[in-house]
Structure 1
């Protein structure tokens, strides 16, 4: 079954939200929005670890100074999203927390989101190993409710569900994912070689291959934005996501790297390759800075074929 209803009123949860450490990675954040993000999560968890990934224009430590149950881990350099998440999760584990809640710097949680996720997690664990549960989010710009995804060919199956439903899925975005520390230890950390894009995809692939399940919890809500810009399009009613030119290097490279990995589902590769081709053509022909986009994409494809990881080459 894809959809499951929440437990009845008579059932209880052993979930303790104070044993959750939220992990937020920042890089040049909007100060006002970051304060809002931290405020939305700090009251729902035991502690918040903010890993600042080499921000220069914003003093993240100073911005969050004095906030209870919030600690900032500064990094002089941008070590990449994967390494930042891993270092912050290591800190949470050292502090004795049982769960980590991964968050982006622009994700604002609805009230009670963490407890809703945790209650669902405890219940779902009765049926087997659960890698993560995640909320249903609305795009902060368009207001569009994002679906949960099950891979298929020629198209993925997109499931939005409804109140009280839990959706078994093949992928959860990083932000908002509630992960048991025990599951993280068994599945492994984020792949730091990917640096930024497709980290969540890779981790979910490994989780599923290891026999863990992933679930989207419709009653858990969050506001979040994917990509740097949302443009109107006749192709998609809710618009298309546009990234900065340099991000296309990682998107192209990391996609190819995932195609090469044995644990990557073949069905996902089969339906993702055409999407990669469309993204290449769309960025090269129809968006501003076409030449820059083309150069970054070609470099990314080349390095993916060569098996190269890490940050952006100089």
Structure 2
């Protein structure tokens, strides 16, 4: 019989100015029933007091890797993944710094993966401020629209998403990955910098024959978009639009007429609304994202 706690888990948490919430996240990890893990915080050149706060509270109980510049979600996670694998971790969990995990999350994710040929595992994610409202019960991809989506989004949990099932993608907010997956498909694609890198990774995994499962007994609470400032912040609009085009051009050529038509129609509608509201900076940033995509400028944009 396999002893689940024999498998070391690397918990990789990327931080960028997360002083208001990252200590809560790390604290919740230390309250886990699963004990064979190491916490790796990769800091993207934060300018707040988050690193200082972590060092004061957790001292040598965690590893903090300090980047000299902001390498984005994918670049920083890749540094943490490599460190975890070099230090004997069988599994890696990528975890957002604005989350709080349930005490049994690690155990339940590892157990489900081991029972399913080292599958990638996605948990049930709730809104932190509305603890019984679901943000994600696993992810799907609508290839005609060229968009990923979350099952259960904004639904009150009444047990209707309590069945384990195979899904299209697991959000990078919290995802468990066995080390063999990295051997097979590599790490996160760093050209995205922010957004769609998790979808890219999961599509590559699925096409390589790796199963992705939603596990409802693994739970956490997410302070949604705390780092990026919300769904219509300029940083979200820029990377979300640019990377959406790049992702679809990479993986979804057969549906191009559909997803590109949907993209332009919905952008035009948004432009009209934003123009009426006097939010012309949003129109400008989306046009800039489209322009940069056309010129293959996949780089870090300074805001």
How big is the shift at 1:120?
0.7
Q: Hey, what's the Cα distance between the residues in 2 that align with 1:272 and 1:140?
A: 34
Secondary structure of 1:297's aligned partner = helix
1:42–1:70 CA contact under 8 A, matched in 2? no
1:117–1:135 CA contact under 8 A, matched in 2? yes
Which position in structure 2 is the counterpart of 1:56?
47
Q: Hey, what's the Cα distance between the residues in 2 that align with 1:274 and 1:280?
A: 10
Which position in structure 2 is the counterpart of 1:20?
9
Q: For 1:42-84, what per-residue CA distance to the aligned partner results, in whole angstroms no more than 9, with x for missing partners?
A: 3435110000101002241443345253111111211111110
Which position in structure 2 is the counterpart of 1:306?
295
Q: For 1:82-137, what per-residue CA distance to the aligned partner results, in whole angstroms no more than 9, with x for missing partners?
A: 11000011111111111111011101101110101111111111xxx62x101110
Q: Hey, what's the Cα distance between the residues in 2 that align with 1:265 and 1:111?
A: 42
Q: Write out aligned runs for 1:112-127 (5 A).
A: 112-125=104-117
What runs of 5+ residues in structure 1 fail to find an aligned partner?
1-11, 230-240
Q: Hey, what's the Cα distance between the residues in 1 that align with 2:256 and 2:212?
A: 16
Relative to 1, partners in 2 of residues 1:289 and 1:157: Cα closer, same or farther, differing over 3 Å?
A: closer
Secondary structure of 2:174's aligned partner = coil
Relative to 1, partners in 2 of residues 1:286 and 1:141: Cα closer, same or farther, differing over 3 Å?
A: farther
Q: Hey, what's the Cα distance between the residues in 2 that align with 1:147 and 1:280?
A: 31
Relative to 1, partners in 2 of residues 1:97 and 1:228: Cα closer, same or farther, differing over 3 Å?
A: closer
Q: Choose the corresponding residue for 2:286, options 297, 301, 305.
A: 297
| Length-normalised TM-score, structure 1 | 0.80
Relative to 1, partners in 2 of residues 1:272 and 1:114: Cα closer, same or farther, differing over 3 Å?
A: farther
Q: Write out aligned runs for 1:49-198 (5 A).
A: 49-65=40-56, 67=58, 69-125=61-117, 130=119, 132-143=120-131, 144-145=133-134, 146-152=136-142, 159-160=151-152, 162=160, 165-198=163-196
1:14–1:122 CA contact under 8 A, matched in 2? no
Q: For 1:118-167, what per-residue CA distance to the aligned partner results, in whole angstroms no more than 9, with x for missing partners?
A: 11111111xxx62x101110122444212323334668886447575211
How big is the shift at 1:35?
1.2
2:237–2:285 CA contact under 8 A, matched in 1? yes
Q: Hey, what's the Cα distance between the residues in 2 that align with 1:185 and 1:81?
A: 20
1:151–1:157 CA contact under 8 A, matched in 2? yes
Q: How many residues align?
A: 288
Secondary structure of 2:115's aligned partner = helix
| Length-normalised TM-score, structure 2 | 0.83
How big is the shift at 1:16?
2.5
Q: Hey, what's the Cα distance between the residues in 1 that align with 2:243 and 2:150?
A: 23
2:9–2:91 CA contact under 8 A, matched in 1? yes
What's the Cα RMSD here?
Answer: 3.1
Q: Hey, what's the Cα distance between the residues in 1 that align with 2:183 and 2:19?
A: 32
1:27–1:54 CA contact under 8 A, matched in 2? yes
Q: Hey, what's the Cα distance between the residues in 2 that align with 1:192 and 1:80?
A: 8
